[in-house]
Homo-oligomer: A and B are copies of this chain.
Amino acid sequence: MFTPRLIGRVRSPYTETKKIPKGPGAKHDAEGTLEILPEFEAGLSDIEGFSHLFVLWMFDRSEGFELMGTPPIDNRPHGVFATRSPRRPNPIGLTVVENLRREGPVLHVRGVDMLDGTPILDIKPYLSNIPQESLRRGWLAEAESRANRSGN
C-alpha cells in the first residue's frame, strides 16, 4: 500500500467529540481553518475558484474498527461502510466544506466537523452533485423519520 503523509491540520472549535453536532437535523456550519504545511502550499494554487472542497483526514483519536456499529442517530446496528463511524478499517474521514477564503497556506472554511488538530491527508475540488431526485439515504432516512415522529 502506501505510507500516509501529513499535509496539514484542521483548526476547529471542537476539542471534544461530544461537542460535534450529530443526529437528525444536525447543522455543520462551524467555521475553521485548514492549515497546510509550508512544503505543500504550492499545491493550493487556483483552489480559490472552487466554492466547495472535499477534505480527507485521519480519525487520529479513534482506536481499531468494528464492522457493525450503532450510530448516535439510531438504536439499530449498521455495517460500518453504511455509516460515518470513525471506527473503520482505514480511519479516513471525508468532509465537504465551503471554501471561504485563502491566506497563503491557510484555507478558511465553513462546515468543519473534525476535532481541533485533526491531520489532513488530502484536499480535492468538489465538482458536481448527484441529481437530488435520484438520491436515496437508506437507514438514515428511516431513523430520521422515526426520530421526527417521536418528537425529537
Contact = CB atoms under 8 A, between A and B. Distances in A.
Interface of A: 1-7, 36, 40, 42-54, 56, 58, 67-68, 77-84, 88-92, 94, 96, 98, 119, 121-130, 132, 134-142
Nearest to A135: B51
Contacts of A3: 1
Contacts of A123: 81
Minimum-distance CB pairs A-B, first 7: A49-B138, A45-B79, A51-B136, A1-B4, A42-B67, A81-B123, A43-B67
Contacts of A119: 1
Q: Which DSSP category, helix, strand, loop or mixed, fits chain A's interface?
A: mixed
Contact of A79 (B42, B92, B94): B42
Contacts of A58: 1-2
Contact of A138 (B48, B77, B89, B137): B48
A2 to B, nearest CB: 6
A6 B2 contact: no
Contacts of A1: 3-6, 58, 119
